[in-house]
Structure 1
Amino acid sequence: MTGTGVDNFEYYPQGVPRSLDYPDISVYQLLERSEGKYPDNTATIFMGGKMTFRQLKNKVDRFAAALHHIGIKKGDRVVIMLPNCPQAVISYYAVLRLGAVAVMTNPLYMERELSHQLRDADSETIIFLDLLYPKINKVKDDTPLKNFIVTGIKDFLPFPLNLIYPFKAKKDGQWVDIPAGQGITGFKSLIDKYPPNPPAVDINPKEDLALLQYTGGTTGLSKGAMLTHGNLVANVMQVSAWWPEVRQGKEILLAALPFFHVYGMTVAMNFCVYNAAAMILVPRFEINNVLKLIQKYRATLFPGAPTMYVAVNSHPEIKKYDLSSIRLCLSGAAPLPVEVRDKFEEITGGRLLEGYGLTETSPVTHSNPVNDQRYVGSIGFPLPDTRCKLVDIETGQDEVGPGQPGELCIYGPQVMKGYWNMPEETAKCLQNGWLHTGDIAQVDDKGLYYIVDRKKDLVIAGGYNIYPREVEEVLYEHPKVKEAVVAGVPDKYRGETLKAYIILKDNETASDQEIIKFCQERLAKYKVPKKIEFRQELPKTMVGKILRRVLVEEERKATSE
């Protein structure tokens, strides 16, 4: 087996082990271990209410017993369609406790997306938020669904909010009446009904699936990545080992990343359970609320996406908030502009690291180190036990050397088993255990990796290869630019031409020519965007990743009309 990465340890961060010993345990046992050591530590904070690890494990075991009673067994796929709330944490660990497979589903999915996922996973059981019932009701007859477990935000609100919430929800039009019967059961009633003694299940962590995590659909038909208990346990241990400063049983993490995305699941939920840290559950990222929560609970960790840190940096009253408790943040899901990182660190005094990963790798594979060494534009080093190689873009076979762009391939304990029911797609992506990511990267002589861009985002204009990230970095340097993304759009003369979509900072104005001139002073002529469009917002995933594909599709439709 060839490959670079952890083979080069000369510049590897001090204090981070090169390799780890991974226990042969299930994901549920992470909770079992932390509850055994820190039973009275706060596990979740939600709308002012708190739950200890002892209370969390008790509810997980009760709910697992209830799921067993209704027929859930090892290997069954159970859909969890919830925002970040205590019910999401309980459901996830209860499903995995039984050896069943969690299918984490975006609550914002439209009927077509939801129906595809339910049929593909062949799921008979769904755990969902009451507000989503109309959507589920529309697709249930076209899916294998039989069991419907419903919960509401009010179920885990502290007194007196649990009494006030229904009145406010009805007033705001945020209330749905759920019909009785028809296979529908209340989440809270199940937990209250059963004692915390579910049956023991024999789980093989290396082979048994814990998760069917569907890709975001940004690159075509959504595919279910098969992640084992071993994959998820390994990745949360790798991430934790990368941060030697993390204090067991003492951290408070702002969980704004959605748990239904594998990034939030690993670096927020599983991370907190593994490290006995308190997680502040944020169902929806709203900047004013986030700032209040950080200040009130003195959050020490804040994993997120670049757009979240942009929101903090751009808040007009940011100086009113005390964010000095923040110590460490990991940015993922999209490239982190240097200016965004520097501004955020100036505001909080904490460290903001850029990392990298994919759904197919549980998800984290790379991160910048926590030490004072700054590697501008780099995703950092591979995590412990993560091997990497770069192969030529054309054939995908021949390795390329340092400084040369190539497709990034990854081998490690966090790499998925394959795609659910898609052997051909699996064979394309996984070759001899190496995951071909589709991302173009470079590695330098220190072993640091730099993502040039997505393989499919490569823009070829007039015969020149243009990597959008390089142009976006320049746009973020403009003092008036708040957010920016560039894409290749159809052009009759050049085949493709580069267009920039820009959101300006509050109370700022700029012209097309001003932006173009700024780029001309910093980029080769062929890399300068030929078109500029100013916008109030950009299409994004729930994690905050800007959807370049949506912008390209908009342009194609416009030119074809």
Structure 2
Amino acid sequence: MDIVGDKNLRDLLNEKVAAHRDKTFLIFEDKEERKYGFTYGEFAERVNRLSQVFNDFGVEKGNHVALHLPNSLDFMTSWFALASIGAIMVPTNPLSTSNEMEYILEHSESVLIITEKEHLDKINCIRKNLPKLKEILLARYEGEDFEGQNLNRLIENAKPNYKTVKIDSEDPAAMLYTSGTTSKPKGVQVTHANYIFTGEMMSKSIRLSPNDRQFIVLPLFHGNAQYYSTMSALVVGASIAITERFSASGYFKQARRLNVTVGSLFAAPIRMILAQNYDPNDINHSLRIIWFAQMVSEEQLKKFEEKYKVPLLQMYGMTETVGVPLMNPIDGIRKNMSMGKPTIGYEVKVVDDDGNDVHIKETGQIIVKGISGRTLMKGYFKNPEATAETLRDGWLYTGDNARVEEDGYFYFVDRKKDMIKRAGENVAANEVESILAEHQSVYEAAVIGIPDDIRDEAIKAYVILKENYAGSEQELLSYCRERLAKFKVPDSIEFIKEFPRTAVGKVQKHILRQRHKESGKAHL
């Protein structure tokens, strides 16, 4: 038996309620800075009432229910209520278009969707194409209409007892859709065991205690906020503070108001915080650590830690790995230009295209050893081909390239599919981006490969300049020529005001490629 055993999310919540019934579990601050909170006992009662509501709507074990919600109490309650009856949460980005939602709702076979009134038209216009969708429930609605769909009233009128079913630890509890950069999004099946294992591994990796309070500003529909923040807090009986949205200027002010101790960010939010006018009072917070993912320059790391007096900890994980296979050690030497070393419960290595281990300092694909349905995703929903390609003989092939140094620290190189092939040479987009980012006028850079009749691919850089800074294409190209091998220097640079991004700030390079393609057509 492993650390999870036969436990499911319902068991875990009940266990923590028995131990901490009157302790604050959850604080939520909405966009108007209004605060709401639940103790463990109050949260569990609301979960039980909503479980009964789902029973009344005919939601059964194994059914998918979509949550088209921003960060909110209703998101959290719905997640655990669905888990309690063996149903499966399908969290979606509220910014998704009707076309994107139609695909996810149809593919997931969702029988119910919970959203807010502002998104009702978007769902209603595609409902005729979704025969399995039984009902739309509205969260945070205070009007008199939609009586039978008003989530708050339905919860208030429900009894806190529901039909219990047997739930195995390896039953799916959620399905998270990947961003789908090259094809339709894939539904990643996440089990009860996945969630609990991740909570255990993460809490031990950051030395979380019942006295800690996780700070969630990243979207709850994304794995980071669910896996690393929520679950690590729940397994140790800690508390959670959630904001409806991220605020770069208000991040540390919110941290102070909500009395949080541990935070999670991505590279883009870190840069956004650094771009704000500095407020010396922002050092008055109780954060003891912030972990982050994606590349931040060494200068930005140093500036952030010096300005805000909180250490950063780079880590690496994916929706499919569920947990964090690589992380800088909290009690060891932090090398935050790296992704750190393998964590509890994982074996990680770097291999070539034939699956053979590469030598130290050589670039290869990151693969992660684990158990499907426990320490790794269960698989992709209705996609056995993609599952078989990603999960092979107990290893998950990430599609990310890295190298390992002699001291055992892993360094991200690039997405395997973002590796640019130029006249027979492999060029890591991340390497070119890092050089550009070191220029005094550059705020952020994104590099892509574009078709080239002679060299297979040419290198194009998109650059956002710092505010009040000027920069020319020739100046930046000269800068790159002094620091990069000739075959790595961009062929062209385009200045841009902002990048298309995913909900957690990742640059959507497929959109940049499409932008380039369309700009080429315009000149024909």
Which category of TM-score, normalised to the shorter sequence, fits these structures? over 0.9
Deviation at 1:446, TM superposition (A): 3.0
From 236, 239, 243, the equivalent of 2:206 is 243
Report the 3-state secondary structure (helix = DSSP H, G, I; strand = E; otherwise coil) of the residue aligned with 1:288. coil
From 112, 118, 129, the equivalent of 2:105 is 118
Report the 3-state secondary structure (helix = DSSP H, G, I; strand = E; otherwise coil) of the residue aligned with 2:125. helix
1:465-497 deviations in Å (ceiling 9; x for gaps)? 110111222222223322221111233443322
1:89 and 2:89 aligned: no
What are the equivalent positions in structure 2 for 1:372-387 lying under 5 Å apart? 373-387=333-347
Q: Which runs of 5+ in 2 are unaligned?
A: 29-33
Aligned to 1:409: 367
Cα distance change of structure 1 residues 178 and 327 upon mapping to structure 2, 3 Å threshold: same
Deviation at 1:211, TM superposition (A): 1.1
| Contact 1:323–1:347 (Cα < 8 Å) also in 2 | no
| Contact 2:345–2:375 (Cα < 8 Å) also in 1 | no
1:94-126 deviations in Å (ceiling 9; x for gaps)? 000111111111111111111111111111111
Report the 3-state secondary structure (helix = DSSP H, G, I; strand = E; otherwise coil) of the residue aligned with 1:475. helix
Deviation at 1:32, TM superposition (A): 2.3
Aligned to 1:218: 181
- With 133-142 and 24-33 compared, the bigger mean Cα shift is at 24-33
Structure-2 separation of matches of 1:324 and 1:483 = 28
Report the 3-state secondary structure (helix = DSSP H, G, I; strand = E; otherwise coil) of the residue aligned with 2:493. strand
| Contact 1:133–1:178 (Cα < 8 Å) also in 2 | no
Deviation at 1:322, TM superposition (A): 3.2
Deviation at 1:370, TM superposition (A): 1.7
Deviation at 1:362, TM superposition (A): 1.5
Structure-2 separation of matches of 1:371 and 1:266 = 22
Aligned to 2:269: 308
Aligned to 1:201: 165
Cα distance change of structure 1 residues 487 and 178 upon mapping to structure 2, 3 Å threshold: farther
Cα distance change of structure 1 residues 92 and 376 upon mapping to structure 2, 3 Å threshold: closer
User: How large is the RMSD of aligned CA atoms in angstroms?
Assistant: 2.1
What are the equivalent positions in structure 2 for 1:374-523 lying under 5 Å apart? 374-393=334-353, 395=354, 397-412=355-370, 413-523=374-484
Structure-2 separation of matches of 1:307 and 1:376 = 16
Deviation at 1:531, TM superposition (A): 1.6
Instruction: Give the letter for the 1:118 counterpart.
Output: L
1:365 and 2:361 aligned: no
What TM-score, normalized to structure 2?
0.93
| Contact 1:490–1:555 (Cα < 8 Å) also in 2 | no
What are the equivalent positions in structure 2 for 1:16-415 lying under 5 Å apart? 21-46=3-28, 47-143=34-130, 144-152=132-140, 180=146, 185-206=149-170, 208-244=171-207, 246-248=208-210, 250-332=211-293, 334-371=294-331, 373-393=333-353, 395=354, 397-412=355-370, 413-415=374-376
Aligned to 2:31: none
Structure-2 separation of matches of 1:508 and 1:400 = 42
Deviation at 1:455, TM superposition (A): 0.9
Structure-2 separation of matches of 1:330 and 1:218 = 25
Report the 3-state secondary structure (helix = DSSP H, G, I; strand = E; otherwise coil) of the residue aligned with 1:287. coil
Deviation at 1:20, TM superposition (A): 7.0
Q: Which runs of 5+ in 1 are unaligned?
A: 1-18, 156-176
Deviation at 1:428, TM superposition (A): 1.3
Deviation at 1:308, TM superposition (A): 0.8
Report the 3-state secondary structure (helix = DSSP H, G, I; strand = E; otherwise coil) of the residue aligned with 2:468. coil
| Contact 1:34–1:53 (Cα < 8 Å) also in 2 | yes
Cα distance change of structure 1 residues 51 and 186 upon mapping to structure 2, 3 Å threshold: same
Cα distance change of structure 1 residues 417 and 20 upon mapping to structure 2, 3 Å threshold: closer
Instruction: Give the letter for the 1:241 counterpart.
Output: K
Structure-2 separation of matches of 1:108 and 1:178 = 26
Q: How many residues align?
A: 513
Percentage of identical aligned residues: 32
| Contact 2:325–2:348 (Cα < 8 Å) also in 1 | no
Deviation at 1:187, TM superposition (A): 0.7
Deviation at 1:37, TM superposition (A): 2.2
- With 424-433 and 373-382 compared, the bigger mean Cα shift is at 373-382
| Contact 1:330–1:353 (Cα < 8 Å) also in 2 | yes
Structure-2 separation of matches of 1:359 and 1:123 = 20
Cα distance change of structure 1 residues 494 and 301 upon mapping to structure 2, 3 Å threshold: same
Structure-1 separation of matches of 2:462 and 2:279 = 26
| Contact 1:272–1:279 (Cα < 8 Å) also in 2 | yes
Structure-2 separation of matches of 1:461 and 1:400 = 22
Structure-2 separation of matches of 1:297 and 1:355 = 25
What TM-score, normalized to structure 1?
0.87
Deviation at 1:323, TM superposition (A): 4.7
Cα distance change of structure 1 residues 180 and 62 upon mapping to structure 2, 3 Å threshold: closer
Instruction: Give the letter for the 2:348 counterpart.
Output: C
Structure-2 separation of matches of 1:506 and 1:253 = 33
1:336-384 deviations in Å (ceiling 9; x for gaps)? 3323222211122212111111111225221111236232531111221
